[in-house]
Amino acid sequence: MADRTERQAGATIHAGGEWLTAISGATREILDPADGRPFAVVAEGDEKDAERAVTAARHAFDHGPWPRTPVAERAALLRRVAGLLLRDRETLGLLESRDAGKTVEEGRVDIDCVADAFRYFADLVAAEAPGRVIDAGSPDIHSVVVHEPVGVCALITPWNYPLLQASWKIAPALAAGNTFVIKPSEITPLTTVALIGLLTEAGLPAGVANLVTGPGHTVGARLAEHPDVDLVSFTGGLASGTKVAQAAAPTVKKVALELGGKNPNVVFADACATEEGFDTAVDQALNAAFIHSGQVCSAGSRLIVEESVRDRFVTELARRAQRIRLGRGTEDGVECGPLVSEQQRAKVEAYVASALAEGAVLRCGGKQPAPAAARPESGWFYEPTVLDACHREMKVVREEVFGPVLTVETFRTEEEAVLLANDTEYGLAGAVWSADTARARRVAARLRHGTVWINDFHPYLPQAEWGGFGRSGTGRELGPAGLAEYRETKHVYENLAPRPVRWFAG
């Protein structure tokens, strides 16, 4: 691990099995969100570096062994990677904390989930049947549907969960026999660089895994449009996702988009009828909104609570939100870290200001915290914020804030709750809280969101599909569908007793 960390200072582009500097010689400093200071240097690639990486991936797919490697061997390599991830769990968790601003504990949990993803796709592909036989109605015909790798995959990942999102793409792509070029966010690339090192250590052939560190408008744009790329998988914001789809369209390549969310957390009064139920619903509302400072695509940023319990619920929620301990993620006792960048904090501040101008009531937060020992003044911290008396016309309710901001809306009837929850351009995730099982399931069935939790928020299973409705995206990750994204389907029809057809005389 030490060798890979040292290498990041000079050469973080990986192409054809070699660690390289940017062709231009450009570099970028990686800043610690907790104090705004640089702590690492990476290569700043551009279109030429993307071209070099795609060429390597194309050659490895067309001429290398990986697409033709037996499934059992591919699965065994993925399991070795999972073991290496757990071996380096502490180092990687710390690196993820410093890079993205999250707490070390969150970083450790992320590494565990990454290892789970690699193990899951190893088990999934290893257990599959070799093909689906179709009965053609004749003993002389053998007809089978088989799956083949797509080819060269361009994988573009976001800054909030750098390694986790990378694993959701890399593990199924490798399991299916593809080669790839990955472009992590230019502001949080370090654990992805480390992962490529682990893939190499596990024995992945040269050219299968390629990495370009650099910005989206150069590296990402070239990958999306490149004619030798067969699939592009993007996780990020709606605006960038739209550009990726447009760039990919002329070559009609496969596109998987996992975009943003504006996720409702619907709380019925009966969920709060007991003290335990009330405490659980409040606790989960806090987790939904403020984990990783709200920088989560599935964050429960819209609390939609039944009017009869609204005052008590929001009062307790705000009281507890004010007590969340902010600070550097590597410090003991810290519960929430900084925002990822100064620009992101400014964006959050602008959303809160617009909400207050439109009539929202500030129940807590709404400002930068005072400096403290674990919270340097130069860090990009922002207090957990609860905005009451919100309505659908407000910008803060319609648009994805991606910060520690929770809006509160109220309803009186089940029908109104469903209408409010579905009144969004997005459709990524949502939750329903009710002691009435029939009602909870009824409401969940009516929500137009890709994942719906009942009496819970945020858990996901590697075996389940992850994706959204509406403007939350078009692709699916995790589960069998996540593997299917990285495959083509072929029908092989074999005539065991060929003979003349005699359609025409002669």
Q: Which of 470, 465, 469, 467 is nearest to 483 (CA)?
A: 465
Start-to-end Cα distance in the chain: 73
- Binned at pLDDT 50, 70 and 90, residue 83 comes out as very high
Nearest to 148 by CA among 254, 59, 49: 254
For residue 125, the model assigns a pLDDT of 97
Determine the pLDDT at residue 9. Answer: 58
| Under 8 Å between Cβ of 20 and 8 | no
- 8: pLDDT confidence band, cut at 50, 70 and 90? very low
- Band of residue 10 on the pLDDT scale cut at 50, 70, 90: confident
Handedness of CA 166, 168, 174, 177 (dihedral sign): negative
Residues 264, 203: Cα–Cα separation, whole Å: 44
pLDDT of residue 342: 97
Give the mean pLDDT of 19-28: 97
Lowest average pLDDT, out of 171-175, 217-221, 325-329, 474-478, goes to: 474-478
Predicted local confidence at residue 449, as pLDDT: 96
Q: 2: pLDDT confidence band, cut at 50, 70 and 90?
A: very low
| One-letter identity of residue 286 | L
Q: Is the pLDDT of residue 5 over 50?
A: no
Which amino acid belongs to residue 205? P
User: What is the residue-averaged pLDDT of the chain?
Assistant: 96
**Which of these ranges, 17-31, 291-305, 463-477, has the smallest mean pLDDT?**
463-477
201: Cβ contacts below 8 Å, ≥ 6 apart: 84
As a whole-number percent, the residues of the chain with pLDDT over 70 amount to: 98
pLDDT tens-digit profile of 186-203?
Answer: 999 999 999 999 999 999
Answer yes or no: are the C-beta atoms of 96 and 191 closer than 8 Å.
yes
Identify whether the C-beta of residue 232 lies closer than 8 Å to the C-beta of residue 240.
no
Query: Residue 6 pLDDT more than 90?
Result: no
**Structure tokens that stand for 21 in this block:** 């500097």
Is the Cβ–Cβ distance between 93 and 104 less than 8 Å?
Answer: yes
Average pLDDT over residues 282-286: 98
Q: 185 Cβ partners below 8 Å, 6+ apart?
A: 157, 158, 159, 162
C-alpha–C-alpha distance, residues 257 and 481, integer Å:
14
How many CB atoms sit inside 10 A of residue 112's CB? 15
3-class secondary structure, 56: helix
Number of helices followed by number of strands (H, E) in the chain: 16, 19
- Please count the CA atoms within 13 angstroms of the CA of 251 that sit on its side-chain side: 18
Mean pLDDT, to the nearest integer, of 265-272? 98
**Residue whose pair of structure tokens reads 């009281």 in the numeric block:** 319
> What ranges make up the beta strands (E) of 8-124?
13-15, 18-20, 27-32, 37-43
What is the rounded (10 degree) CA torsion for 11, 115, 103, 162? 40
Local structure of 65: helix, strand or coil: coil
Express each pLDDT in 300-337 by its tens digit: 999 999 999 999 999 999 999 999 999 999 999 999 99
Output the CA torsion sign for 349, 354, 357, 359.
Answer: negative
pLDDT at 1 > cutoff 60:
no
Distance CA 33, CA 370 (A): 16
Closest CA to 271 of 311, 309, 214, 217: 309
CA–CA separation, 147 and 483 (whole Å): 10
- Torsional sign, CA 373, 378, 381, 387: positive
pLDDT at 115 (0 to 100): 98
Contact yes or no for 290/321 (Cβ under 8 A): yes
Is the distance from CB of 293 to CB of 336 less than 8 angstroms? yes
Is this prediction's pTM over 0.85?
Answer: yes
495 Cβ partners below 8 Å, 6+ apart?
A: 140, 141
pLDDT of residue 304: 98
pLDDT tens readout for residues 59-77: 999 999 999 999 999 999 9
Is a pLDDT exceeding 80 seen at residue 482?
yes
User: Which of 431, 424, 432, 430 minimizes the C-alpha distance to 471?
Assistant: 424
What are the angstrom distances between the C-alpha of 95 and each of 39, 72, 100, 106, 163?
A: 11, 32, 8, 11, 10
Pairing of strands 429-433, 37-43: unpaired
DSSP per-residue string spanning 430-460: EEEE-S-HHHHHHHHHH---SEEEES--S--
Q: Which residues are catalytic?
A: 258, 297
Instruction: Specify the DSSP element, H or E, that contains 108.
Output: helix 104-126
* Amino acid 504: pLDDT: 87
pLDDT at 506: 64
